[in-house]
Amino acid sequence: MGRLWKKIDEDILTENDLMSLAKCHNVSVYRKERFKKYNTITFRCSQYKRFTKCQYQVNAKVFHDGIYQIFCSQHHEHESLENSIVSVEIRSVIRDLALNGLNNVETMSTNNTTPITGDPIANSVKFAVFLAFQIPSIITSSIIVIYIIVTPAFRSKEQNHSTCVLLSFNFLQLISDIPLAIHFFRLNIVQPATSVHCILWTWLDFALNTSSLQLMAWISIERHLFIFSWNLMRRVSRLQRWFIHFAPLIICSVWCPIFYFFAIIVSPMCANTWIFYSLLCGLPCYLTTNLGYYDLIFNTIMPVLFILIANVALVIRVVKQKLSRKHFEPLLNIRIIVWQVIGTNNHRKTVVLGEYFFELNEVYRKIPPPMRTYQSSERTEIVLNINALPFHYGKK
């Protein structure tokens, strides 16, 4: 519904006369606009911050020849004070924010339908749960970190490097990011309520969580290399081995902090608006841009898929290998016998087991072709090629 304007018959000759009229009507300057033939000055109730339902306005048209036309709209609504004044709770929160350095750009518009501090009971429960797990977590993590520091043998093993980096990120999050969340649940508001605090907290939370997720994805893939391709890893050059092992760790550790520094702190696509009564001060604005879709797909969804696929594949490969080894269990009993023969015939490359081991004839049929030399039809004998055995024999 549009405003209904009523003309005020007042003799206004100068700008001072206009200001005196505004003072008499209890209004102050709201905005100024320029048009081709005249300029306009809009006034609104001087107490609009206290009486939010007051819609009284005065509009002055100032023509270029010095003629003033004055109009008014609505009327002052100061009678319904209880319904129009901002609640005491909201005013106290706004005052606290102002005392903590909140400027005009950071002030958020609020209304009576949205609670300014969320659910205090739910936040109290979250505070108790977080605090109950935080204390033992810090103690346990400290013991693990101390053990890693004082145990060089643990750090020197390549399969432990990724785990050490992941534990470092988790410990950093445990002593920096989670305490900020606990502090919020205790006070039901972000303290200190400044944009700098919100930017740093959001950047820290996003960088640590996503870096840990990507490190878990790489660890899930690296397990396959250490378990099933260990010989291949030992055959490659030192430079290739360094690149395969350390390059993913460096990328996973550095990429996310740099990405979120650009997306959250620099934020060239949009301007962040922080809500101090919400966890993490709300969400950063880049999530509503194309960069947010990239972050969701490449930094979150893909690592989760890699973790799922790599771990399922690991279980399948281990079970498959375990089942395949059952076919060669009888060969494990031959190892001792062949070793004893090698000890007395180390100058021969081929060992012949004659009629004395006649009962091994059935086992021989289970030996794969690459391990067999021949089998005579005239007499029962088993010929094994020592160089083709699937286990290592030392030589004197």
- Give the bridge partners for 250, in sequence order: none
- Tell me what pLDDT residue 103 has: 43
108 DSSP 8-state letter:
P
Bond from prior residue into 370 cis (ω within 30 degrees of 0): no
Task: Please tell me the distance from the alpha carbon of residue 8 to that of residue 59, in angstroms, as a whole number.
Answer: 10
| Rg of the chain, C-alpha, whole Å | 39
Write out the DSSP string of 3-45.
--EEEE-----SHHHHHHHHHHTTEEEEEEEE-SSEEEEEEEE
Could you count the other beta carbons within 10 Å of the beta carbon of residue 38? 16
Q: Are 178 and 141 spatial neighbours (Cβ–Cβ below 8 Å)? A: no
Let me know the angle formed at the C-alpha of 142 by 138 and 147, rounded to the nearest 5 degrees: 155
Q: Are 357 and 324 spatial neighbours (Cβ–Cβ below 8 Å)? A: no
CA dihedral 174, 178, 179, 180 (to 10 degrees): 140
Distance of CA 54 to the CA centre of its chain: 46
Could you count the other beta carbons within 10 Å of the beta carbon of residue 219? 21
Q: The tokens of 350 are what?
A: 């081929």
Q: Are 60 and 43 spatial neighbours (Cβ–Cβ below 8 Å)? A: yes
Q: Are 378 and 396 spatial neighbours (Cβ–Cβ below 8 Å)? A: no
| pLDDT in single tens digits along all 396 residues of the chain | 557 788 887 778 788 888 888 888 888 887 787 777 788 888 888 877 677 777 788 888 888 888 888 888 877 776 644 444 445 455 555 555 555 544 443 444 333 333 444 578 888 999 999 999 999 999 999 999 999 989 888 888 888 899 999 999 999 999 999 999 999 999 888 888 888 999 999 999 999 999 999 999 999 998 888 888 777 777 777 788 888 888 999 999 999 999 999 999 998 888 888 888 888 998 899 998 889 999 999 999 999 999 999 999 999 988 888 887 765 555 555 444 444 444 444 444 444 444 334 444 444 454 444 444 444 333 333 444 444 444 444 443
Q: Which of 344, 333, 336 is nearest to 367 (CA)?
A: 333
Q: The tokens of 291 are what?
A: 């960069």
Q: Are 386 and 393 spatial neighbours (Cβ–Cβ below 8 Å)? A: yes
List of residues 6+ apart from 279 with CB closer than 8 A: 181, 184
The H-or-E segment that residue 350 falls in is strand 350-353
Residue 253 phi, psi dihedral angles, 5° rounding: -85, -25
Dihedral sign of CA atoms 262, 265, 269, 273 in order: positive
Q: Which of 87, 107, 214 is nearest to 162 (CA)?
A: 214
Q: Are 5 and 69 spatial neighbours (Cβ–Cβ below 8 Å)? A: no
Q: Which amino acid is at 167?
A: L
Q: Which amino acid is at 333?
A: N
Q: Are 95 and 49 spatial neighbours (Cβ–Cβ below 8 Å)? A: no
- Tell me what pLDDT residue 349 has: 41
Write out the DSSP string of 121-153.
HHHHHHHHHHHHHHHHHHHHHHHHHHHHHH-HH
Task: Assign residue 66 a region (left: φ > 0; alpha: ψ between -120 and 50; beta: otherwise).
Answer: left
Q: Which of 385, 377, 307, 378 is nearest to 353 (CA)?
A: 385
Residue with tokens 């977080």: 130
- Tell me what pLDDT residue 331 has: 52
Residue 256: half-sphere exposure toward Cβ, Cα within 13 Å: 25
End-to-end CA distance of the chain: 103
